[in-house]
Structures are given as structure tokens and as C-alpha cells.
């Protein structure tokens, strides 16, 4: 269990990052959540408060193919999937929201794979 002090600092860090960015319909906020096993990503239109697209390691398109991959490699696949979904909607550019996580490891692997697939942020 996490102490209240640690949880408070996590929330503070998350709000500091999120306070500087804002997603729109043409350039949504790409929000990342990383658990111990999975990575989840949402493209959010903050003007309407709606999720436009989502992808995760639990997505039906990926769940079968991620069988023996490391978590970093799975994050790359999620980045490619999210890029494909957004391009199908006509979205080329996003605002990246790493949340409380450092731009390191799985978050970085996801972001670089999304960039290689053609997303701009």
C-alpha cells in the first residue's frame, strides 16, 4: 500500500503536467496510464470531455499477438495501434500527456513508436 505522502506527491505531479496541456478535436490530448502489467492510452477532446479513441495491451487486436513480448515491446505495439486508429479518424497531430510518469521506459517506447507511425507531437 502506498503512503498518503507518496500518493499526494503523485497527484500533485500529475496535475502539474496536465495543467499545461489541453486537447481539442483536431489535436487531442494523448493520455498514458501505466500499470505494472499493462499500458493504456486515450485520445481525449478536453473541450467536450470525451474520449475519441483508446488502445491498450488488452485491446482485442493486440491481445493475441503480445504473448511472449516484453512490456516495452508491447508498449511499442500499442503506440502503432493508437497511431493507426487516430489516422483513420483523420488526426495527424496530438498533445502528449505522460501524466505522472517520466518520459522513460514504456512511456518513451510508446511515444517513439507512435511518432514512427506518423503521429506528430
* Predicted local confidence at residue 67, as pLDDT: 84
Burial class (CB in 10 A: 0-12, 13-18, 19+), 21: middle
pLDDT-above-90 percentage for the chain = 86
Fold of 4-116: Nucleotidyltransferase; domain 5 (3.30.420)
The pLDDT tens digits along the chain (121 residues) read 789 999 999 999 989 988 899 999 999 999 999 999 999 999 999 999 999 999 999 999 998 888 889 999 999 999 999 999 999 999 999 999 999 999 999 999 999 999 999 999 8
* Predicted local confidence at residue 1, as pLDDT: 78
Q: How many residues does the chain have?
A: 121
Burial class (CB in 10 A: 0-12, 13-18, 19+), 6: exposed
Predicted structure pTM score: 0.89
Domains of the chain by residue range = 4-116
All three cell numbers of 1: 500500500
CA distances for 56 relative to 11, 16, 84, 97, angstroms = 22, 24, 13, 15
* Predicted local confidence at residue 35, as pLDDT: 95
Amino acid at each position: 500500500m502506498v503512503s498518503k505522502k507518496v500518493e499526494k506527491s503523485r497527484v500533485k505531479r500529475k496535475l502539474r503536467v496536465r495543467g499545461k496541456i489541453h486537447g481539442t478535436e483536431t489535436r487531442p490530448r494523448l493520455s498514458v496510464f501505466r500499470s505494472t502489467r499493462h499500458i493504456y492510452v486515450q485520445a481525449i477532446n478536453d473541450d467536450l470531455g470525451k474520449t475519441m479513441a483508446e488502445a491498450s495491451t488488452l485491446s482485442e487486436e493486440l491481445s493475441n499477438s503480445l504473448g511472449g513480448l516484453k512490456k516495452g515491446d508491447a508498449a511499442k505495439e500499442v503506440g502503432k495501434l493508437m497511431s493507426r486508429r487516430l489516422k483513420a479518424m483523420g488526426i495527424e497531430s496530438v498533445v502528449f500527456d505522460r501524466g505522472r510518469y517520466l518520459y522513460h521506459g514504456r512511456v518513451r517506447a510508446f511515444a517513439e513508436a507512435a511518432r514512427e507511425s506518423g503521429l506528430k507531437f
